Structure formats: structure tokens, C-alpha cells
């Protein structure tokens, strides 16, 4: 079994999502489990919406929600057809109505933007992306089944930076993803949201920004995956952030110590992966 994690930058458009479907199909014989981030910059957009609403900027929050919703409606119509579009559109309507009610509560009823409420808002990105990606995979001829990460990743109630309760999480993942031998090869590929989880009493949490890599590690450790692939928009670790400098080169080797040092200094591309090391099952 392998885990394939797709970052926001590798799910930022319909073309990118189709490319992900193609990559997953090519790994079919290795029983992939797919973990997804929110598409593109969705989490930043949600953060801005919640912040605006909490500062009483209701109209600004609403225009940003409208823009975000229209991005998802466009993705759905580009990727899906027929009854699938109708189903996803119904889902989008429900999700964006809930977000709207939440922002009204913050902006007009003076509700405080607590870490718990923030997690409820920020988690929307991965909830949306995981459903759309699963539906898009099916449409692209890659049978997929959506799993709700909040039913698998059990965490404490340290909202915004929740820590997983490892053994319970592993047990739930293993129950949901039986060993490949018990799963017929060619069966539907599980797709779940990264970054989000829930407390034992069912309150939504997040694992900290960039936490989808952590989810991929949790899934990998739980099922003894032979490999965890992190798909992003750069072709490896470069000598510098390519968004900052041109003419960067790909590093051919990187020791664990060097990666840890880079992570300590805050290098974005390795920070999340290095942080996401978790204790594998004995």
C-alpha cells in the first residue's frame, strides 16, 4: 500500500486535479490511498474570510465567500457531469450556507472567533477538496471512495494545532483501510482530507497549517505503507525557494540532518515533511 498526498498547489485547477487522477491511476497496482489538501489557496482565503467577519467587515467577508464559492462551482462544472454535478452543487450550497451563517454570527452577532470556531471554518477547504477530488477521480475512470477524515483522525482539543491521539487514530485508519490482501486490487481508491480531524466528542480540529503532510504520515504509519509520496508544485528540494530566486538547482541528495536543519530554519518545502514524522507501529 502507498500513500499519495497532493498539496494545494497540485490541486489548484481542473487540469491539475485530472493530472492527479492520472498519477493515481498509474500507481493503481500499489494500492494507493490518497490524502488531499485544500485546492490552491483555499485555506488562506477561508482565514481571511473569518478574520474579516470577526472584525465586523461583513460585506468584505461575503464578497470573498462569493469568490471562493464560484471557484468551486467552476471546478465542479469543469470536472463533473450530469447527476454528479447536481450532487456536488447541493453539497457546495450546504457548505457555503453554513459558512455564511458562521460569518454572520461573527460579524453581526458579536460571536468570538475562538480557535474552535476558526478550525470549523478552516476545515472547510479540505472537506470540499476531498469530495470534489473523489468525484473527479470517478469521473476520470479512477474508481474512488471518499472517507471523512474527521472519523479517522482522532485528536486532542488543542484547536488550530491539534495533536493526534496516535493509537486510536491508527486503529481507526486500519479498520477503514484493510490490508491490500483483504482489499481487492482495482477496488475503489480511498480519498481523504488532510489537515483535519476531530476530538473524541466529534468537534472538528486542524493539525496546524501545512498539516496535510502530517495526515499522510499518520495514514502511512497506520497501514505500514511501503511509500508516502508528497506531490507538490516543485520538482524536489531546490537550492533556494524558486518563488524567491530564479536559476535554482535541484538538490540530488539531502541528508536527514540537513533536512532537519533546513526545517529548523523554517524552509517551507521541508518543514512540513520533517515535522510530520510520526511513530510507526511496532
Residues that bind ligand ASP (CB under 6 A): 7-8, 37-38, 43, 125, 194-195, 209-212
Taking the complex as a whole, how short is the minimal distance between the CB of residue 64 and ligand ASP, in angstroms?
Answer: 16
How many residues lie near ligand ADP (CB under 6 A)? 19
In the set 1, 3, 4, 7, which binds ligand ADP (CB under 6 A)?
Answer: 7
In the set 8, 121, 190, 197, which binds ligand ADP (CB under 6 A)?
Answer: 8
Please, which residue, 12 or 107, has the CB nearer to ligand ADP? 12
In angstroms, the CA 85 to CA 135 distance is: 9
Query: 33 and 4 in contact (C-beta within 8 Å)?
Result: yes
Which one of ligand ASP, Mg ion, ligand ADP, none interacts with residue 267, CB within 5 to 8 A by kind?
ligand ADP
Please, which residue, 7 or 164, has the CB nearer to Mg ion? 7
Which one of ligand ASP, Mg ion, ligand ADP, none interacts with residue 38, CB within 5 to 8 A by kind?
ligand ASP
DSSP strand pairing (189-193 vs 196-198): unpaired
Taking the complex as a whole, how short is the minimal distance between the CB of residue 18 and ligand ADP, in angstroms?
Answer: 17
* 13 touches ligand ADP (CB under 6 A): no
8-state DSSP, 162: P
C-alpha cell at 257: 540532518
* 211 touches ligand ADP (CB under 6 A): no
Applying CB under 5 A, which part among 1-9, 12-20, 84-92, 250-258 lies near Mg ion? Answer: 1-9
Taking the complex as a whole, how short is the minimal distance between the CB of residue 220 and Mg ion, in angstroms?
Answer: 16
Closest by CA to 157, choosing from 197, 215, 97, 217, is 197
Tell me how crowded residue 29 is: count the other CB atoms within 10 A of its CB. 9
In angstroms, the CA 89 to CA 112 distance is: 30
Query: 3 and 228 in contact (C-beta within 8 Å)?
Result: yes
Applying CB under 6 A, which part among 65-73, 122-130, 196-204, 231-239 lies near ligand ADP? Answer: 231-239
Tell me how crowded residue 155 is: count the other CB atoms within 10 A of its CB. 25
Query: 6 and 34 in contact (C-beta within 8 Å)?
Result: yes
Please, which residue, 54 or 232, has the CB nearer to ligand ADP? 232
Closest by CA to 79, choosing from 4, 145, 27, 129, is 129
Query: 107 and 57 in contact (C-beta within 8 Å)?
Result: yes
In the set 138, 232, 273, 276, which binds ligand ADP (CB under 6 A)?
Answer: 232
Amino acid at each position: 500500500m502507498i500513500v499519495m498526498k497532493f498539496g494545494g498547489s497540485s490541486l489548484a485547477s481542473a487540469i491539475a486535479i485530472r493530472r492527479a487522477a492520472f498519477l493515481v491511476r498509474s500507481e493503481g497496482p500499489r494500492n494507493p490511498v490518497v490524502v488531499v489538501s485544500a485546492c490552491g489557496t483555499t485555506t488562506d482565503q477561508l482565514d481571511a474570510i473569518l478574520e474579516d467577519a470577526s472584525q465586523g467587515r461583513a460585506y468584505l467577508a461575503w464578497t470573498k465567500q462569493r469568490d471562493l464559492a464560484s471557484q468551486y462551482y467552476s471546478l465542479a462544472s469543469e470536472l463533473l457531469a450530469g447527476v454528479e454535478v447536481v450532487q456536488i452543487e447541493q453539497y457546495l450550497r450546504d457548505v457555503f450556507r453554513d459558512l455564511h451563517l458562521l460569518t454572520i454570527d461573527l460579524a453581526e452577532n458579536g460571536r468570538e472567533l475562538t480557535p474552535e470556531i476558526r478550525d470549523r471554518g478552516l476545515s472547510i477547504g479540505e472537506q470540499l477538496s476531498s469530495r470534489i477530488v473523489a468525484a473527479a477521480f470517478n469521473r476520470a475512470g479512477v474508481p474512488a471512495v471518499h472517507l471523512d477524515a474527521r472519523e479517522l483522525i482522532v485528536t486532542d482539543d488543542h484547536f488550530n494545532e491539534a495533536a493526534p491521539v496516535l493509537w486510536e487514530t491508527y486503529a481507526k485508519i486500519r479498520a477503514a483501510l484493510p490490508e491490500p490482501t483483504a482489499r481487492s486490487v482495482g477496488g475503489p481508491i480511498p480519498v481523504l482530507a488532510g489537515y483535519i480531524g476531530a476530538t473524541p466528542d466529534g468537534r472538528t480540529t486542524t493539525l496546524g497549517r501545512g498539516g496535510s503532510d502530517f495526515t499522510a504520515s499518520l495514514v502511512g504509519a497506520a497501514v505500514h505503507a511501503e511509500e508516502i509520496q508528497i506531490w507538490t508544485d516543485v520538482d524536489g528540494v531546490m537550492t533556494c525557494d524558486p518563488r524567491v530566486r530564479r536559476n535554482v538547482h535541484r538538490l540530488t541528495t539531502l541528508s536527514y540532518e540537513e533536512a532537519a536543519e533546513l526545517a529548523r530554519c523554517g524552509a517551507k518545502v521541508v518543514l512540513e515533511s520533517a515535522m510530520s514524522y510520526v511513530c510507526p507501529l511496532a
